[in-house]
A and B are shown apart, each in its own frame.
Chain A
């Protein structure tokens, strides 16, 4: 079945540091890939997505590239801010007749001033 593996947290960085959160996946067919962010006490917000190989999703300074050859979708940001502190989830849908999101376990990011 489908699965998503993302790096264990927590990750603690200083403001303006570079961020990478690794994500790899196993899926049938050609999945769509997503990063969601969850701020304390809130639901999930879509951060970015990519729907085919070599697509790059980007939003709010975050980027991730769909790498079919390495089945990866790593999240990066060049300079994090305190306001980026949240839990980040990598997820996929296989499409076809099954549109459920399969999530990684989430990575807690804390950015210190």
Chain B
């Protein structure tokens, strides 16, 4: 079974540019989550998509946005890039988000975004 795949592996941008990161979940998984792993800040929840809808977002400014496509893949868009956006962006997927579901999230290897 293929795991969560993310592209690109590395992305180099300059301040003010826009970045698009992509994620394909494990087959059969309908939920996609995005996390930021910045040096010194640990792992921070960014966004959660399920069945094409944004279900929850973390404490990030609106220039962080995304979407989920009908095939459940997802994009994370970061506009007006700032130096502090440099981080590893991790995507995770899970199956079943019923009210009492506790299915674990499975992670991809991440996209390393560097802002120059």
Contacts and interface: CB of A to CB of B under 8 A. Distances in A.
Contacts of A43: 4, 6, 90, 107-110
Interface of A: 32, 34, 36, 41-46, 49, 51, 89, 91, 93, 95-106
Given A46-B105, A99-B31, 15 more contacts: A34-B104, A41-B109, A42-B109, A43-B4, A43-B90, A44-B107, A45-B107, A46-B106, A93-B102, A97-B56, A99-B97, A100-B33, A101-B35, A101-B105, A106-B42
Interface of B is mostly: strand
B31 to A, nearest CB: 7
A101 B102 contact: no
A98 B56 contact: yes
A91 B33 CA distance: 15
A22 B89 CA distance: 26
Interface in B69-110: 90, 92, 94, 97, 99-102, 104-110
